[in-house]
Structures are given as C-alpha cells and as structure tokens.
C-alpha cells in the first residue's frame, strides 16, 4: 500500500480535497495516510464494503479503551453513551428507539411546518448583502430538529453554540482550546437536558424526548445517560450535516447556473442526490477492525483503524462519468454521503426532505439570488462546509 501524505489542515486541501482524492485513487482502493496513521479507503467499492462489513465497527475494542484525560470527562461521558459510537446489542436497542420518531410518516408530517418556516425566514431577508448560512441554511434544520425533539426554539442559538463546540472535536484542527470548549459545552448541554427531561416527565408532549422517556420507563433499559447522549446526538447531527448540505448546494447551484431549472418537482430528487454526491457535508468516517481481516490487498489486525473517505468515494470515476462535473440530470446511483450499513444516518430522510423543500422555495422566492463574495470552506475537515455564504437577493 502506497504512503500518500497530505495535511488535512492545508489551505489548498481544505478548499479542494478532491485533487488529493483523485491522486490517491490512482494507487488503488486503499492508501496509507500518515497524518492519520491509518489506511484510507478512497474508492466507492472499498468504502461501501467497509461500511457494511460487520468485522469493522465504531466502538473501540475493549482492550484499547482508555479513560481519557480528566479535562475531557464531560465530553467523553456523552460519547460513551452515544448511538454513533455503539455496536450491537446496545446500538440495536438505541437505534430502534430513535427510529420511532423517524418513520416516513412522521417525517412527511413535518413538511408543511418546514415550508412555512422557509417562507418566514425568506421574508426576513435584508436588502443588503447577507450571510445565507446564518439567515437560512442553519435556521431551517436547527429549528426543525428543535420542534421534532420538543426543545424550545428560543434555545436554538445556545444549542448551536454547544453543538459547534462539541463537533469541533472531530476536526483535524482540534487544539487544547477546542477540547476545553467541548468539555464546557458538553457539561452545559447535559445539565440543560437533565433539567428538561425532568420537566417533560411532569408535562409529557408529543415529541421525541417524551417518547424516549416513555421507553425508558417501559423497561427498555434506556439509561438516563443514554437518553441524554441520544438527545445531544440528534440535536448535533440533526442539523450539522443539513447546514453544510444546504450551503454547499446553494453555492454549487449558483456557481453552475443550474438553480431554478434543476429544482422543478420532477427533477428535485435527482438534484438533491447530485448535490450530496458532488460536495458532501462529511468527508471522513473511521472504523475499527474487530478481527484479523484481509481486504483490498491489505491485512488488518484487530484494533486497526481505517478511514473511509466518503468525499473520495462519491467522485469515483469508475462509477460516475466526469465525476467533477455537477450534473443534476445524472442517473442517480447510491452515494456514501449518509454512510451505510448498520450506521446509516437515521436522519437521512429528514435531511433530504429539508433540502427538497428549502432549495426550491429559496430559488423561487429569490430569482435574483447571487453571490457577492467568493465562498470559502472552513478549516474543519473531516466536515466540509462553508465559513459563510454571502449573497444578495
């Protein structure tokens, strides 16, 4: 396996990681990425195989588990009980509870509220240049997930602050300050939800938090720690990917001049999939090997990690012709933007619904929408989203 060096915080890479991905794919399905000290899967075949292979998983093998530094204790406590970091049977139980709120019927029922929210946000757009990320792309998913969970919408700005601090732990640019901020946010987020859960016990509502409480009380062994961690994960993951997907999508539609005609009712589904393929919100996910495995010419030992480069898989030229071209008329083929296998994103249907609603309304209401500054991606790999999206209507 060839060693291919690339600093994930290098400005050129941050703005365009696809050049590195294309270079890596010339050497096969796997390359060794020394900055992460692990092999990286760069082809669609390799990424999909590793996502679905139960000999690999998210949970740290017990013999490698460590307590972690004291200053990160609040963040580590949340992580330890997170659905995202769990494997069966714990993962099966947690996921089954969460999926009760993410049925197709429940998600479809959110559509009228999302439509009204989009119009309300657009009504408040200023005449001067403004950041569409703050005014629209962030607000749609965070307010929607607040409503789904039953968290007060007035808390949205605070929840965003906590969320940004916590998910920054996954970024290559992570520092000690990042860790301290994540620990403080985790402690505050946990305290808020502990209090909120107690209030919901006394005043049940038709929301996900109430249903999770009911499941806990019905003997399904959802602990208080698991309940809190699940709520935090849904609030964090429930908006983070969609913010980047909407922002990256608007940027691409404006830069390629394919806005309105690509968003008609008969084409919107294909356009959303092409946006997710072309510039996905998450570019890397990792797995641990749970036994000795030989795949794609490499032998993994138990405990070895492997990076799955979702952004690379989505531009595999053996699957998509001319993969660097944004083409909303392209034949839809399964991409890896929401993962796959056991850990396929439970919120994917909601994210797709938000995109299917928010993008056509935006371009219909704002036919003169245009960029006023060159969009710049934030230094947040393995996430891939914009710092800001300055536009004028």
Q: Mind giving me the DSSP string for 267-321?
A: THHHHHHHHHHHS-SB-EEEEEESS-EEETTEEEPTT-EEEEEHHHHTT-TTTSS
Residue 261 is assigned to a structural domain of this protein = yes
Tracing tokens 């938000």 back to the chain, one arrives at 354
Q: Name the pLDDT band for 50 (thresholds 50, 70, 90).
A: very high
Phi, psi of 312 (to 5 degrees): -70, -45
- The whole-chain average pLDDT of the chain stands at 91
% of residues, the chain, pLDDT over 70: 98
How far is Cα 382 from Cα 283, in angstroms, rounded to an integer? 5
Domain-embedded: residue 64: yes
CATH number, domain containing residue 266: 1.10.630.10
**Which residues span the domain enclosing 151?**
11-392
Query: Rounded to an integer, what is the distance from CA 349 to the centroid of its chain?
Result: 13
| In-domain check, residue 302 | yes
Q: What is the DSSP string of 175-188?
A: -HHHHHHHHHHHHH
Give residues with Cβ within 8 angstroms of 279, minimum separation 6: 248, 249, 251, 252, 384
Question: Tell me, what's the pLDDT at 236?
Answer: 84
Whole-angstrom Cα Rg for the chain: 21
Segment 201-215 shows an average pLDDT of 83
Question: Considering its fold, how many domains does the chain have in total?
Answer: 1
pLDDT over threshold 90, residue 346: no
Q: What is the pLDDT of residue 254?
A: 96
**Is 309 a member of any domain?**
yes
- pLDDT value at position 81? 87
Considering the domain boundaries, does residue 5 fall inside one? no
Going by pLDDT thresholds of 50, 70 and 90, the confidence category of residue 255 is very high
Q: Quick check: is 2 in a domain?
A: no
Q: What CA–CA distance (Å, rounded) separates 95 from 212?
A: 11
Instruction: Say yes or no to pLDDT of 292 above 90.
Output: yes
What residues pair up with 130 in beta bridges, in sequence order? 391
Query: Model pTM?
Result: 0.93
The pLDDT of residue 239 is 75
């Amino acid at each position: 396996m060839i060693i291919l060096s690339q600093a994930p915080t290098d400005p050129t890479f941050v703005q365009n990681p696809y050049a590195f991905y294309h270079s890596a794919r010339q050497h096969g399905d796997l390359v060794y990425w020394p900055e992460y000290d692990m092999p990286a899967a760069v082809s669609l075949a390799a990424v999909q195989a590793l996502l679905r292979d139960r000999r690999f998983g998210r949970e740290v093998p017990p013999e490698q588990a460590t307590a972690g530094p004291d200053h990160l204790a609040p963040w580590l406590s949340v992580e330890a009980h997170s659905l995202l970091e769990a494997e069966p049977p714990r993962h099966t139980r947690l996921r089954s509870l969460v999926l009760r709120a993410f049925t197709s019927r429940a998600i479809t029922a959110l559509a009228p509220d999302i439509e009204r929210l989009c119009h309300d946000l657009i009504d408040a757009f200023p005449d001067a240049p403004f950041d569409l990320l703050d005014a629209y792309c962030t607000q749609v998913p965070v307010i929607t997930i607040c409503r789904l969970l039953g968290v007060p919408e007035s808390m949205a700005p605070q929840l965003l602050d906590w969320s940004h601090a916590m998910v920054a732990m996954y970024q290559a640019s992570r520092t000690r300050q990042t860790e301290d901020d994540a620990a403080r946010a985790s402690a505050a987020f946990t305290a808020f939800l502990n209090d909120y859960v107690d209030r919901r016990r006394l005043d049940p509502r038709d929301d996900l938090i109430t249903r999770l409480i009911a499941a806990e009380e019905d003997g399904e062994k959802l602990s208080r720690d698991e309940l809190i961690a699940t709520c935090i994960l849904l609030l964090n993951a429930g908006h983070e990917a969609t913010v980047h997907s909407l922002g990256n999508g608007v940027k691409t539609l404006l830069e390629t001049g394919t806005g309105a005609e690509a968003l008609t009712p008969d084409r919107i589904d294909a356009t959303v999939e092409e946006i997710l393929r072309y510039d996905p919100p998450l570019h890397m996910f990792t797995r641990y090997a749970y036994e000795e495995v030989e795949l794609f010419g490499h032998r993994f030992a138990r405990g070895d990690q492997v990076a799955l480069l979702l952004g690379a898989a989505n531009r595999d030229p053996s699957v998509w012709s001319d993969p660097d071209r944004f083409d909303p008329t392209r034949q839809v083929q399964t991409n890896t933007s929401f993962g796959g296998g056991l850990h396929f994103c439970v919120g994917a249907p909601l994210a797709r619904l938000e995109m299917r609603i928010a993008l056509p309304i935006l371009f219909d209401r704002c036919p003169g929408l245009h960029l006023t500054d060159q969009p710049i991606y934030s230094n947040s790999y393995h996430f891939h989203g914009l710092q800001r999206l300055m536009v004028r209507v």
